[in-house]
Structure 1
Amino acid sequence: MDTTILLILLQDGVMNGAIYALLGLALVLVFVVTRVIFIPQGEFVAFGALTLAFMVNGRIPGTVNLLLIIGAVVFAAEVIAALRSGNWSGMGKIFSWSLLLPIGLYLLAPYIVGKDTPLWINVLFSMALVVPLGPMLYRLVYQPVAEASVLVLLIISVAVHFALTGLALVFFGAEGWRTPAFMEGEVQMGPVSWSAQTFFVLGTCAVLILGLWVFFGKTLYGRALRATAVNRRGARLVGISTNMSGSLTFTLAAAIGALSGMLIAPVTTVYYDTGFLIGLKGFVAAIFGGLISYPIAAGGALFVGILEAFSSFWASAYKEVIVFTLIIPVLLWRSFGAHHADDEE
């Protein structure tokens, strides 16, 4: 291996590691706030990438219909809950985001979708279609069992993963898709040309991580999520709604997943089930931080990306095995400093 090959592999590893870092941060965020090990995080990667791919090819994505169906189910669940409790407050807000928003996007889609539509409009419209699926998923699946044990929540997450994978096959089909690069061109750095797309991915990841840092440190909602992550019962006692925290957390996770899918779609073909493997690599990164540390998870993600790149060169048939086997020594390392603690602690 000469220096040129080393730098090429390092470029691929750093770019993939940046994507895994975003997914790892999303998994840590969901776990610390809701205690959910969010296995379906990868499905939002696939939804984001495939939605954008359909739009840039002039086809209305299946997400339009999927959002409409799930929104109707969410509204029906809220109506049933209101009938049982007799409390109809907030139904206007629920009607707006669960029915009006999907209907509006459904009616707007034929006017937006087209091969001549600018890429940034396609990205924004794709985000508008995918991100609402996050809080809807939380309302339907996780909110009714929010106080269940971590093991029960994990089992539910596995079931949700299979359900979303099946829905992706129904609404997007089995064909693989790619999207155009966000930036064209190359930057010469020594003996290797780095693509402008790589710098765009790294810059986007850096901006997003900085934005999350500002959100959690400087905003009221961010501090509410931090309080819920520290102690759910204490957060409820001071008036913070854990349902609101969970819904907001899943919204952020869906946005991060969808954006990650759009960033990785120009460099790899995305199928309806591709997100699962990508999400698992983000999960390996999150394990580095014990599902609680954001900086360690980000560092672990870069390591996973670089390891995957070099493994694909030395032993391409076993690169997935090498990456996922990494979780064993990491778990052993984490276990040395682990101590038993109840959920509320």
Structure 2
Amino acid sequence: MTSDIAAFLTIDGIATGAIYVLIALGIVLIFTVTRVIFVPFGDIAAFTALSLAALEMKQLPGTVGLVAVLAVLATLVETASLLRAGKARQIPHALLFYLVLPMIPVALVWFAAGGDIPLPLRIVLALALILPIAPLLDRLVFRPIADGTVLLLLTVSVALHFALVGLGLLFFGPEGVRTEALTDAVWIVGGIPIGGQSILIVVAAIVFSGLLFAFFGFTLAGKSLHATAVNRTGARLMGIRPERTGTIAYLLGSLLAGVSGILIAPVNTMFYDSGFLLGLKAFVGAIIGGLVSFPVTAIGSLCVGILESFAAFQSSAFKEVIVFSILIPVLLWRSYTSAHREEDIDE
């Protein structure tokens, strides 16, 4: 391997790792606040890419129906819950959040599909359509079992992933798609070509990581999420509702997943089930960060991307094995360095 090839593989790995950074940060964010290992995170990223491709081909994305059905079901569940709790006055607020707001992008995409839509507007519509999916899934699937064990939440999360994969096949079919590149620019640095799309991916990862840092450090909502992550019972005693912070975490997670899907679609062929490997590789980065540390998660995700790039060069048939094999020493190290205790149970 020459130095030029090594440099090219490193640049490619950094770009790929930047995608994993966005997904891994979302996984860690949702887990620290809700204790849910959100396995369908990669599926949401894939659905964003496929929805954008459908708009590009002047077709109606299948996610329109998914969001509409989820919105109706979540509204019915929330309304019934409020009536049982004697909080009928909050029903209009529930209708606004769970029905009206999600249906706005559904209506916009419905009317816009089939027309000549400029690329920036297509991206906005795809992101707006995807944004409600995670919060709606939270209300329907995870909130009723929020006090369950982490193992139960993980089992349900895996089952939800398989359900979404089946729906993805129904909505988008088995064909792979690529979307229009966000930029065709290419720069030559030290004799190595660097695509503008790769630079855009890395810049997006840096920007969104910085925004997350600012959100947690300087906003009241961010500090509420941090308090819930540190101690759910203490957060409740201070007047912070874990349900509300969980909704914010899922909204931010949907945004990160959507941005990841938009960025990766022009450089990777996306299929209905591509989200699984995306999420799994990002999960390796999240495990390196112990599912708690955002900076270590970001560094770990970049390392996963670089390792994958070099592994694909050496042996493309075994690149997945090489990438996932690093989980073994990481888990062993975490096991030996972490204190073992029974899971806290909120009374």
Length-normalised TM-score, structure 2 = 0.96
Cα distance in structure 2, aligned partners of 1:317 and 1:89: 59
Please tell me the residue identity of whatever aligns with 2:17.
G
Identity of aligned residues (%): 45
- Secondary structure (helix, strand or coil) at the match of 2:339 reads coil
Superposed displacement of residue 114, structure 1 = 4.6
* Contact 2:106 2:129 (8 Å CA) reproduced: no
- Secondary structure (helix, strand or coil) at the match of 1:188 reads strand
The one-character-per-residue Cα deviations of 1:98-148 (angstroms, maximum 9, x if unpaired) are 222343333322443356312111111111110101110110111111111
Which residue does the alignment assign to 1:319?
319
Cα distance in structure 2, aligned partners of 1:69 and 1:182: 31
Give aligned pairs, total: 345
Cα distance in structure 1, aligned partners of 2:108 and 2:22: 30
Which residue does the alignment assign to 2:306?
306
Cα distance in structure 2, aligned partners of 1:342 and 1:35: 15
The one-character-per-residue Cα deviations of 1:42-66 (angstroms, maximum 9, x if unpaired) are 1111111111111112111111111
- Secondary structure (helix, strand or coil) at the match of 2:277 reads helix
Cα distance in structure 1, aligned partners of 2:169 and 2:31: 27
- Secondary structure (helix, strand or coil) at the match of 1:90 reads helix
What are the within-5 Å matches in structure 2 for residues 137-148 of structure 1? Answer: 137-148=137-148
Please tell me the residue identity of whatever aligns with 1:73.
L
What are the within-5 Å matches in structure 2 for residues 61-72 of structure 1? Answer: 61-72=61-72
Superposed displacement of residue 341, structure 1 = 3.2
Range with bigger deviation, 248-257 or 93-102: 93-102
Superposed displacement of residue 253, structure 1 = 0.9
Superposed displacement of residue 333, structure 1 = 1.3
Superposed displacement of residue 3, structure 1 = 2.2
- Secondary structure (helix, strand or coil) at the match of 2:187 reads strand
Superposed displacement of residue 342, structure 1 = 4.2
Which residue does the alignment assign to 2:39?
39
- Secondary structure (helix, strand or coil) at the match of 2:30 reads helix
Which residue does the alignment assign to 2:297?
297
* Contact 2:27 2:283 (8 Å CA) reproduced: yes
Cα distance in structure 1, aligned partners of 2:147 and 2:228: 13
Superposed displacement of residue 4, structure 1 = 2.1
Cα distance in structure 2, aligned partners of 1:109 and 1:253: 21
Structure 1 segments of 4 or more deviating over 6 A?
none
Please tell me the residue identity of whatever aligns with 1:69.
V
* Contact 1:232 1:344 (8 Å CA) reproduced: no
* Contact 2:79 2:94 (8 Å CA) reproduced: no
Cα distance in structure 2, aligned partners of 1:171 and 1:83: 35
Length-normalised TM-score, structure 1 = 0.97
Task: Say whether 1:237 aligns with 2:240.
Answer: no
Residues 1:110 and 1:228: Cα distance change in structure 2 (over 3 Å): closer
Structure 1 unaligned spans of 5+: none
- Secondary structure (helix, strand or coil) at the match of 1:65 reads helix
Superposed displacement of residue 187, structure 1 = 0.5
